[in-house]
């Protein structure tokens, strides 16, 4: 039977390379795969493009990657209050692509769903339409938003079974299910791993087809 369980965070991040694009789940610290982030720091990779809603704050979060100077660019919706990121942004050492949050997650969904983009009214008449194609459909104007994909997605779940089905905990679900669909390799850090068949199929939010590796947080 399929088994995607790896032994620890170090094994979970194997294959991550310089220049990769990486999605990291979470809204604030809810859904943030913290053990994975620590393991990424240990790899010493550089020039990452991060796709994550926030850019950390001042402690154990994406701050770890910025402090280790691993990030070339971040695509996010809300990097305020992110000390390490802000210092590097002010010096021009890291690039920011700011995306309204709903557009951000829908671009990821499009990336995972094989779509070439989608038409959104969000941002019309604002700075967020700059440089984007506008399309009129059904008599209404829209912005063409393009998909996002990544080499790796790292998210935090609650439970995974050995074949890779995943459940989430309350508002820690947030961006994780969409991100899980949009990468070449999807890695899920969970609280606990159970045998295949032990999860209620109705409770599974991310089916195993999207999941390449799972590991239990120590």
Partner 1 sequence: MKTLGRSELARMVALHLPRQGFVNLGIGAPNEVGDYLPADTDVMLHSENGILNIGPRPPKGEEDWDLINAGKIPITLAKGGAFFDSNLSFAMMRGGHLDIAVLGAFQVSEKGDIANWTTGESNGAPPGVGGAVDLAVGARTIWVMMDHTTKEGGPRIVRACTFPLTAARVVSRIFTNIAIVDVTPSGLVLDAVLEGVTPAEVQAVTGAELTPARSLRRIDMTGSVAG
Rank residues 16 and 108 by Cβ distance to partner 1 and give the closer one: 108
Quickly list DSSP for 31-99. Answer: T--HHHHHHHHHHT--SEEEE-SB---SSSSTHHHHHTT-EEEEEESB-TT-HHHHHHHHTT-SEEEE-
Phi-psi region of 174 (alpha: psi -120 to 50; beta: other; left: phi over 0): left
In the complex, minimum distance from the CB of residue 178 to partner 1, in angstroms, rounded to a whole number: 5
In the complex, minimum distance from the CB of residue 36 to partner 1, in angstroms, rounded to a whole number: 17
Instruction: Return residues touching partner 1 (CB under 8 A).
Output: 27-31, 55, 77-80, 82, 85-86, 89-90, 96, 98-103, 105-106, 109, 120-128, 168-178, 205
Tokens of 168: 């989430």
Distance CA 148, CA 171 (A): 23
The strand pairing partners of 216, in sequence order, are: 190
Rank residues 3 and 171 by Cβ distance to partner 1 and give the closer one: 171
Tokens of 179: 């991100």
In the complex, minimum distance from the CB of residue 76 to partner 1, in angstroms, rounded to a whole number: 8
Rank residues 17 and 140 by Cβ distance to partner 1 and give the closer one: 140
- Whether 108 contacts 83, CB under 8 Å: no
In the complex, minimum distance from the CB of residue 13 to partner 1, in angstroms, rounded to a whole number: 23
In the complex, minimum distance from the CB of residue 3 to partner 1, in angstroms, rounded to a whole number: 26
Rg (CA), the chain: 17
Rank residues 16 and 187 by Cβ distance to partner 1 and give the closer one: 187
In the complex, minimum distance from the CB of residue 27 to partner 1, in angstroms, rounded to a whole number: 4
Rank residues 156 and 213 by Cβ distance to partner 1 and give the closer one: 156
First-to-final CA distance of the chain: 25
Rank residues 22 and 55 by Cβ distance to partner 1 and give the closer one: 55
Residue 133 CB coordination number (10 Å): 12
């Amino acid at each position: 039977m399929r088994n995607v369980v790896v032994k620890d965070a170090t094994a979970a991040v194997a294959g991550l390379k310089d220049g990769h694009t990486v999605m990291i789940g979470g809204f604030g610290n809810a859904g943030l795969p913290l053990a994975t982030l620590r393991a990424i720091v240990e790899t010493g990779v550089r020039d990452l493009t991060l796709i994550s809603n926030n850019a950390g704050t001042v402690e154990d979060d994406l701050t770890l990657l910025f402090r280790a100077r691993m990030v070339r660019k971040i695509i996010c919706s809300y990097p305020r209050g992110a000390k390490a990121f802000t210092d590097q942004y002010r010096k021009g050492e890291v690039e920011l692509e700011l995306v309204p949050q709903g557009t951000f997650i829908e671009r990821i969904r499009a990336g995972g769903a094989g779509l070439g983009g989608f038409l959104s009214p969000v941002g019309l008449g604002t700075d967020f339409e700059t440089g984007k194609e506008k399309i009129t459909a059904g008599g209404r104007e829209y912005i063409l938003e393009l998909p996002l994909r990544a080499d790796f997605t790292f998210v935090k779940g609650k439970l995974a079974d050995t074949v890779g089905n995943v459940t989430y905990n309350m508002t820690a679900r947030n961006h994780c299910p969409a991100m899980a669909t949009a990468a070449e390799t999807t890695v899920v850090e969970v609280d606990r791993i159970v045998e295949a068949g032990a999860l209620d199929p109705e409770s599974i939010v991310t089916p195993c087809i999207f999941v390449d590796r799972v590991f239990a947080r120590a």
